[in-house]
Amino acid sequence: MSAQHTDLIDQILSITPGSRLDVLRRHREVARENIQKAYVALFQPRDVTQVTLLERLAVASFVAGLHGQIVLADHYAHSLSQAEDGPVLSALITGEIEAGQTEGPYGIYPAGPLSAENKAGPHYRVGADARKLLGDKLSAALEHAHLLVFRPRDASREALQALLDAGWSTSAIVTLSQLVAYLAFQVRMVDGLTALASASEQPIAANSDSFTAALAAGNSL
């Protein structure tokens, strides 16, 4: 398998052919392939006119850091630092991850039965000094990503308009949303596989259904 076709999850978790986790993943071979194809589509795109690779890596590094997934956060931070102008941006993103740390989900539902679950929480904003360096466009993307991670129930036309006002096109907003959603799935995938790797050894047949459970529940096995 060539480097460009290396499966990212296998790589960052050091999953080797024939290992227990490799066998488990092959129970969902099509899903495994599609997860990698989605990664390639988002981070090795043919067209970067709407969302540059630097912007994609910056948002991914930020989102992985907010989720607290160390392995993925390290991967995206390293990838960002290797890009042109990446080292300075990577340091800024690290600072924004620290500034944006909180616990969720929270937010306000539209009036109705779910209003009983309303929960107040901080509305993250990039600081003035960092905004000068990041620019309004990337700052808006980070703020929107934080909203999607911690308070998705607050998603609104106004939130999307803030992205448009900052210079993002509608196509770019779709890409940003796809990226944040993919990272959320990727975090659950890595958490689940990490939990399975640390679990006591059991026959593969007895654990094949645990793979789906791991994806659904993160590390709560």
Contact, 80 vs 115, CB < 8 A? no
What is the average per-residue pLDDT within 171-185? 97
- pLDDT, tens digit, 9 for 90 and up, residues 119-168: 989 999 999 999 999 999 999 999 999 999 999 999 999 999 999 999 99
pLDDT over threshold 70, residue 218: no
Q: What integer pLDDT is reported at residue 212 of this predicted model?
A: 45
pLDDT over threshold 90, residue 56: yes
- pLDDT, tens digit, 9 for 90 and up, residues 85-103: 899 999 999 999 999 999 9
How many residues comprise the chain? 221
Q: Which structural domain, as residue segments, surrounds residue 44?
A: 3-217
Q: What integer pLDDT is reported at residue 3 of this predicted model?
A: 40
Q: What integer pLDDT is reported at residue 114 of this predicted model?
A: 80
Average pLDDT, the chain: 88
- The total domain count for the chain is 1
Q: What integer pLDDT is reported at residue 5 of this predicted model?
A: 58
To which H or E segment does residue 63 belong?
A: helix 53-67
pLDDT over threshold 90, residue 219: no
pLDDT over threshold 70, residue 214: no
Q: What is the pTM of this model?
A: 0.86
